[in-house]
Structures are given as C-alpha cells and as structure tokens.
Amino acid sequence: MLTDPFGRQIDYIRISVTDRCDFRCVYCMAEEMTFLPKSELLTLEELEIVCRTFMEMGTRKIRLTGGEPLVRRNIMQLIRALGAEAKAGALDEVTITTNGSQLTKMAQQLAEAGVTRLNVSLDTLDADKFTLITRWGKLQTVLDGMATAQDAGLAIKVNVVALKGVNEDELGDMVRWCGHHGYDMTIIEVMPMGDIGNETRVDQYLPVSVVRSRLAQEFTLTDSPYQSAGPARYVTVEETGQRLGFITPMTHNFCESCNRVRMTCTGQLYMCLGQDDNASLSTALRAGGVPALKDAIIEAIARKPKGHDFMISRRQTSAPVGRHMNVTGG
C-alpha cells in the first residue's frame, strides 16, 4: 500500500484520459483553447499499464476523467480492461466523471463493461443558462443521456458547481429534481485553476457554507456517516431520501483525509489538486518499464504535501494553479 509522509494511505487515482472537451464551461476553461497534440498523450495501452501498476501497489479505486473522457477515441478499450478487474474484485470500482454529452450512445456499453456509477456535471436545469455556462452544450442532450444511463442500470451522482448570480437561485429546485429522479447530488465551490478568459472567479465564487444554510431553510438536512472515495461531506435530505454532498476546497479544505492522486493524459502525476508539483510517469515508463514506473510512483508519493491553500481575490491577477481543470479533471 502506498503511504504518504503524513500517514495517509493512497488507494485512489483519478486519471485524465484526454484534455479535450466538447463543452467550454466558464469556470473550467477559456472558450478558445489550444489542446495537446494527440502524439503527446499516453496511449491506451500505456494508460492500462499505469493503472495495473497502481493496482499492484494497493490502488482500489480508479476514476476516469478529462476533459470529457468519453470523447477520447477507442476509450472503451481501457474501460473494458478496468471493468473486468472490477468484476473480478481486483478493484472496488471504476467510475467516470462526464458532462453527459455522449451517454445516449455509450451508457449501455459502459454498464456492460463493468462501470456501475457515473458523476455527471450539471450546473443548471435551465436550457439558456446551460448554454451560457457550457458555451457549447445542449441541456436536453445531457438529460436524455442521463435517462439512458439510468435505464442501463448505472447509478448517477450530479455534480453542481455553485456559481454566484448564475445558478444559486435554483439549487433548491435541483435538489428536488435529483430526488425525484433518484440521483444523488454534490455541490462544489468554484476553484481557482487556470486562465478562464474574460470570466473572473471572484465574481463566480459562492461559498458552499452559504448554500447549505439556504438549503437548510427549505429542507431537513441530517448529517450522514456515508463516505465516498472523494472529499464530499454528506447529508441526507429527509424530504427526498437522497444523499447531498458538499465539496469545499475554499472554505474548508478536505486535505486531512486525502487518499488520492491525479494523473494527466500525458502521464504527469499530481500529488495535490491545489499545487503544481508533479512527476513524469510517462518518462519513467518509457525509459525503464514497470520497475522504473514503480520507483517514480514511490518517489512522487513521498512528496505529497499536507494540503492546499486556494485563494480567490480581486487583487490576484492570475490563478494560483496554472493548469486548467481539464488537465487533471478536478
């Protein structure tokens, strides 16, 4: 088992399989983006080697992210390989974070491959707002995809980024809607990662503590002992029976229980979401095979910091973390 300098066992890796996305969400990236040449990405075979190596070193949970992971060509090859490991009990689960745009055509394949759960990013139920937030997305495409995924037997958790002045007035309606459809829901604070063009995060930022206080006036929220593999703190919404999570990287970071690392589609391993220190696993793998890869992983985990310190300020002219969210998938 991999253990960091603070005694935390690292058993969860989030892998961005592509930096490309068919949306341009205003809190994630600029509308005009330059993506990596495909030649710089790890091949699907290399990604599988990295995953299997982490599994040999104690990893029990793998999440595939992006960008939008389902737009990567032939991604089902990797998903089927990892899903087979989950079916065999070598992994607790393989999950995917997606914007939902590809689910209508891919949900059944995902379920058959061994994926049991999806996180779907959905910040509004208003079609006009959805286009405003995603710039390129169509709400109905996502809703249809979610329905298809649920029909295929996939559990769905809706991830909502709280955006001041944009969706804060409909978060209660989204809680009710998720309860009606049987989706769990998590509300997330916006994070200062990467240049997002003309948008400013200080104008987007809405503390989740404020959101929770408002929701507590509409619903009975009971603290839940449930813990996912991620950083959310959960309550049960008594009126709907659903789980509602809160992720607070700004107002109350979740570092003390961090059990995860993140790898980019080019093989850069980031030990902390909120810091830029990284290790090149692709260089190690290509130079020395699996033995060198294992050595690089051990060395990287030994550098995992105690935590991050995000800050959003009008006096800050650039994001404290230079990479965009699509690089490591949040």
Question: What does the DSSP assignment read for 240-307?
Answer: T--EEEEE-TTTS--GGG--EEEE-TTSEEES-TT---EEEHHHHHHHHHHHHHHHHHHHHHTT--S-
Is residue 208 classed as helix, strand or coil in its secondary structure? Answer: helix
User: Which is it for strands 117-121 and 221-223: parallel, antiparallel or unpaired?
Assistant: unpaired
pTM for this prediction: 0.88
Q: How far is CA 252 from CA 36, 247, 255, 260, in A?
A: 33, 8, 9, 18
- Specify the pLDDT at position 50: 98
- Specify the pLDDT at position 314: 37
Residue extents of the structural domains in the chain: 2-328
Tell me: cis bond preceding 89? Omega within 30 of 0 counts.
no
Looking at domain 2-328, its CATH architecture is Alpha-Beta Barrel (3.20)
- Specify the pLDDT at position 251: 56
| Sequential pLDDT tens for the chain (330 residues) | 999 999 999 999 999 999 999 998 888 888 888 889 988 999 999 999 999 999 999 999 999 999 999 999 999 999 999 999 999 999 999 999 999 999 999 999 999 999 999 999 999 999 999 999 999 899 999 999 999 999 999 999 999 999 999 999 999 999 999 999 999 999 998 876 445 455 555 677 899 999 999 999 999 999 999 988 778 899 999 999 999 999 986 655 557 778 999 999 999 999 998 788 999 999 999 999 999 999 999 999 999 998 765 444 434 444 454 545 555 555
- Specify the pLDDT at position 309: 58
